[in-house]
Chain A
Amino acid sequence: MSSLQGIAGNGFTMVRHSKVLLIVRDAFLVIIIATTLALGSNAFREDGIPLVAKEEYTILVPCPESMGEAIPINADDPLIKDPDSLLIDVRSRKEFDEWHLPQALNQPYDWLAEQDEVDRKAAEVAKSIARSRKSHVVVYGDGGNPDAGEHWAASLSESGIKNVVFISGGAGALRQSEALNGEKL
């Protein structure tokens, strides 16, 4: 009797094992079909991507460690026109309305704010920058001394944002460059 029970028990275990194997087999089949579809559709796409990336992706996310100081660039730097650059104008709303670079975001820098407040604001802006997926952040202020653009860029850099630059001379230098080149930036 007990040997019969043993045989029945073994049979039941085998059925369960074969069921599990069938589930795993079907899952593998799905992966094979999905891989075929993925590679096939990618091969036929005009904007298909290479199977192995050749260059490191430029990732712009805040990391816990500080990324260092912001770097100054000139008003005619190609980064300003680069579609992968996020432009931030840190002058007052009024100055921004009078003139600003196309696509620039206005994020006025408050000289009277406490450092904690500035850092908190910079961390908030850093979040939206990280999600914008741009590869560079170009900040400009009024170009005065001290320059709000430089301060904002430094605050963003301290928030962990990579690739932050500021325009040396700020909006004044940009408008001068615009006038010299005879083209709108």
Chain B
Amino acid sequence: MRQYWKRIVASKWLLLGARVYLGLVFVIASWHKIMVPEIFALDVATYQFLPLWATNGFALVLPWVELLAGVMLILGLRARAAALLALCMMLSFILALLWALHLGLDMACGCFASQAATTEDPISWHTMVRDLVWFALALYVLTLDQARLGLDRIFLSRKVSL
């Protein structure tokens, strides 16, 4: 019975599903941040989490890391490295959310669209649970992905045949 569950959890198709889902989440989340960095910088500042000197740099670089990690997860290219990045990003988002909830800031999360564009995604414990689920997914891919489906597999088999 235990072996059965082990096989299910480590199934390459389940891992592929988790990878593609997580990848899509990151690609979609990165898009508006790359398109309007000035608005995302304001969103970052609203969290009152980073010092002023770090706000713009963070707002510029983070969306590109999200995009690259997302694409790598979808394609299965260095998926575990991408999962490690996703894990670190989710951890920082969770800490920022905790900080905002601790301060009692009543604001939109700014995760998928700028706060100016939406009133539908306020930060709450629901947002926290959602982020924790994505954190767990990133951990799942990081620990169990064996590159059985994706570009890594193709590159590895080429290396072996060479």
Q: Which residues of A contact B (CB under 8 A)?
A: 22-27, 29-31, 33-35, 37-39, 41-42, 47-53, 56-57, 59, 61-64, 126-128, 130-133
Contact = CB atoms under 8 A, between A and B. Distances in A.
Interface of B: 34, 37-39, 41-42, 45-46, 48, 52-53, 55-57, 59-61, 63-65, 67-69, 72, 78, 80-82, 84-85, 88, 103-108, 114-116, 118-119, 122, 142
Contact of B65 (A31, A42, A127): A31
Given A34-B68, A53-B45, 17 more contacts: A23-B81, A24-B81, A26-B80, A26-B81, A27-B81, A27-B88, A29-B81, A30-B72, A38-B64, A42-B37, A49-B60, A51-B60, A59-B48, A63-B105, A131-B115, A131-B122, A133-B39
Contacts of B114: 133
A59 B81 contact: no
B82 to A, nearest CB: 7
Nearest to A35: B61
A34 B103 contact: no
B59 A49 contact: yes
A61 B46 contact: yes
Contacts, number: 112
A130 to B, nearest CB: 5
A59 B45 contact: yes
Contacts of B34: 41
A131 B107 contact: yes
B64 A23 contact: no
A122 to B, nearest CB: 12
B127 to A, nearest CB: 14
Contacts of B56: 49-53
Nearest to B52: A53
Nearest to B77: A26
B8 to A, nearest CB: 24
B107 A130 contact: yes
